[in-house]
Copies of this chain bind each other. A is one copy, B any other.
Amino acid sequence: MAPRSRHRNPGTALTAADGPLVTALCGGVGAARLLHGLHVSPDLDTVTYTLAGAISRERGWGLEGETWNTMEALARYPSRFSWFGLGDRDLATHLFRTQRLGDGVPLSTVTGEIAAAWGVEVSIVPVTDDRVETMMDVEDEGEIGFQDYFVRRAHGVAVRGVRFRGADTARPSPGVLDALAAAEVVVICPSNPVVSIGPLLAIPGVQDAVVSRRDRVVAVSPIVAGAALKGPAGRLLAELGHEVSVVGVARLYAPLAATLVIDEADAALAPAVEAAGMRCLVTPTVMRGPAEAAALAKVIVEAA
């Protein structure tokens, strides 16, 4: 998805009132249809709830003060989706989105409506209004859906390949290419390169739009000291034949971004990043709170 704002970078927390026009690439396609007929968009909701200050700080996803009565009641039934963490209040978002999509309203419009309902002024745009599904080819089982891999199996199985079903014929949603073209800074957030940034770039036109702004594109490495801070990025990169280091990330992002921001823990690898074709900035990248996030955002903006 491609949030766009003069004020904030959703992946971090830059809150300066008169900052530059920033477009950030920061999540998966998030158009997974998890339950039949129930449209769940975890990534879009995570960004929205975070910007609304409503995200659960403890979990990092879903709402603070959430209750789980529907999930508990679902356990009575032989539902194959009972593993999914569906909070009662979060469910209201899915019901509203499902209803609007059923009315024929595009996902990008509904996403704006949801953001508005939460008082979020940043423009949050899904990369496409078309249906795209991240499919994981896993050992012994073959292709399974991303949420099945990520939540149900807790990303504990070996992945042989990743495919974005439907991406070939999908079109960028309104505003996505304009946001990339008009941005003073394009940020590739420290999201998972394979399953968060990958699907964005798989939509025809998006990768070209990023490449054409390469000088203004700043990527933040999701790998710190040879591992991902969270989630399966490290394991996935290794399984798909990439080096799990800032150098591996630089080899992936060099065609897209002029600059890679790496953590101080990896300072010794800065020359290797430059050798891979990217300008390298070394700064603290681990965001424990708003202060670190703001400092990182300042570095990013100044870099571009």
Q: Does any Cβ of B come within 8 Å of A117's Cβ?
A: yes
Q: Which residues of B contact A113 (CB under 8 A)?
A: 77-78
Instruction: Report the bound CA distance from A69 to B118 in whole Å.
Output: 17
A37-B37, A38-B38 given; A77·B92 CB < 8 A? yes
> Is the pair B77, A96 in contact by a Cβ cutoff of 8 Å?
yes
Q: Give A98's nearest chain B residue, CB to CB.
A: B37
- The answer to whether residues A74 and B88 also contact, given A36-B102, A37-B37 and a CB cut-off of 8 A, is no
Residues of B close to A96: CB separation below 8 A? 74, 77, 79
Whether A36 contacts B67 in the complex (CB less than 8 A), given A73-B89, A92-B74, A113-B77, comes out as no
> Which residue of chain B has the shortest Cβ distance to A97 in the bound complex?
B77
This chain: how many copies in the complex? 2
Q: Are B70 and A101 in contact (CB under 8 A)?
A: no
Q: Which residue of B lies closest to A71 (CB)?
A: B92
Q: Does A99 contact B (CB under 8 A)?
A: yes
Question: Interface size bucket, A side?
Answer: 35 or more
Given that A36-B103, A77-B113 are contacting pairs, would A67 and B95 also be in contact in the complex, using a CB cutoff of 8 Å?
no
For A88, give its contact among B36, B69, B103 (CB under 8 Å): B69
Q: Which residues of B contact A36 (CB under 8 A)?
A: 37, 98-99, 101-103
Q: Are A76 and B92 in contact (CB under 8 A)?
A: yes
Nearest chain B residue, comparing its CB with the CB of A37: B37
Pairwise interchain contact B70-A88, C-beta atoms closer than 8 A: yes
B117 pairs with A76, CB closer than 8 A: yes
Q: How far is the CB of A110 from chain B (nearest CB, A)?
A: 10
Could you tell me which residues of chain A, from 75 to 127, have a CB within 8 Å of some CB in chain B? 76-81, 88-93, 95-96, 98-99, 101-103, 113-114, 117-118
A17 on interface, CB distance cutoff 8 Å: no
Contacts of A102 in B (CB 8 A): 35-37
Do A88 and B114 have beta carbons less than 8 Å apart?
Answer: no
Residues of B within 8 A of A98 (CB): 35-38
Residue of B nearest to A96 (CB): B77
CA–CA, A39 to B102, complex, Å?
A: 13
A59 to chain B, nearest CB (A): 17
Task: List 8 extra interface pairs beyond A35-B99, A74-B92, A76-B117, CB under 8 A.
Answer: A38-B95, A70-B88, A73-B90, A76-B92, A78-B113, A78-B117, A80-B99, A81-B99
List the interface of chain A (C-beta within 8 A of B).
Answer: 35-39, 67, 69-74, 76-81, 88-93, 95-96, 98-99, 101-103, 113-114, 117-118
